[in-house]
Structure formats: structure tokens, C-alpha cells
């Protein structure tokens, strides 16, 4: 039996969630190049006089180039004939055999499609 209180598990989950957010943020920041192009400055404020507006720094952000392509793949779809069993249940075994054969044919066609997709550039 664990000596940890229920709060310890909540704190672990919170820490794990925080660590996950930091990891995601760091991955996002590593996917682009950020260059500071202008310094920021705080406004000069005088209580009796109008203030000069402040200025936020400017940044040029070059994000990662992502090329998304498509390719056509022809997939043979099996013709599945389903004979429903009659009320007495005489055709149940035939129905199960037909279903198993259709599933086998679908698996074979899927494997062929995957092989064809891997062979294409």
C-alpha cells in the first residue's frame, strides 16, 4: 500500500502536465527562427506633460517550410455478398464462412495496396 496522500498524485499529474506544456512550447519554438529587429522601449512619463508613446520590439519570424504532397493509390475494393441467415438458423454456418472469406479478401487487398504504396516514389 502506498504512503502517498491523494494530493501527492494530483501534484505529480500537475507537474507532468506543466512539463508537457514546456516541452510542447520548446518544440514549437525550435521549429522557427526568430530574430529581434528592433529594441523595445518604455514610454517616458511625466505627470504634468503628455507622454511619448512606448514601442514594443519587432521580430522577424521565419517558420519552418513544410511541403505537403499527395499521391494517388488505387485500391481494389472487394465485392461482398452477404446472405442473411433464415429464421430457423440453417444458414448461420454458411453466413459465417462467407463473412470470413470476405474479411480475408479485404485483408489481402489492403496488404497489396500497402505494398503498392511503398513501391511508389
The answer, as to whether pTM is greater than 0.75, is no
Sign of CA dihedral 45, 51, 52, 53: positive
Q: Residues 31-65: pLDDT tens digits?
A: 677 778 888 887 776 666 566 777 888 888 888 88
Domain ranges for the chain, please list them.
Answer: 1-31, 68-121
CA 16: distance to chain centroid?
20
How close are the terminal C-alpha atoms of the chain, in Å? 56
- Look at residue 46 and give its three-state secondary structure: strand
Task: Identify the residue with better confidence: 111 or 11.
Answer: 111
Query: Residue 1: what pLDDT?
Result: 44
Task: Identify the residue with better confidence: 27 or 7.
Answer: 27
Amino acid at each position: 500500500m502506498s504512503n502517498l496522500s491523494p494530493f501527492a498524485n494530483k501534484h505529480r499529474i500537475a507537474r507532468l502536465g506543466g512539463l508537457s506544456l514546456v516541452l510542447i512550447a520548446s518544440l514549437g519554438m525550435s521549429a522557427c527562427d526568430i530574430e529581434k529587429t528592433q529594441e523595445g522601449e518604455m514610454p517616458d512619463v511625466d505627470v504634468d506633460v503628455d507622454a511619448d508613446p512606448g514601442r514594443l520590439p519587432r521580430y522577424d519570424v521565419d517558420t519552418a517550410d513544410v511541403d505537403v504532397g499527395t499521391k494517388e493509390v488505387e485500391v481494389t475494393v472487394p465485392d461482398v455478398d452477404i446472405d442473411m441467415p433464415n429464421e430457423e438458423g440453417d444458414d448461420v454456418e454458411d453466413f459465417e464462412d462467407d463473412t470470413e472469406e470476405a474479411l480475408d479478401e479485404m485483408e489481402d487487398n489492403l496488404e497489396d495496396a500497402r505494398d503498392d504504396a511503398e513501391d511508389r516514389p
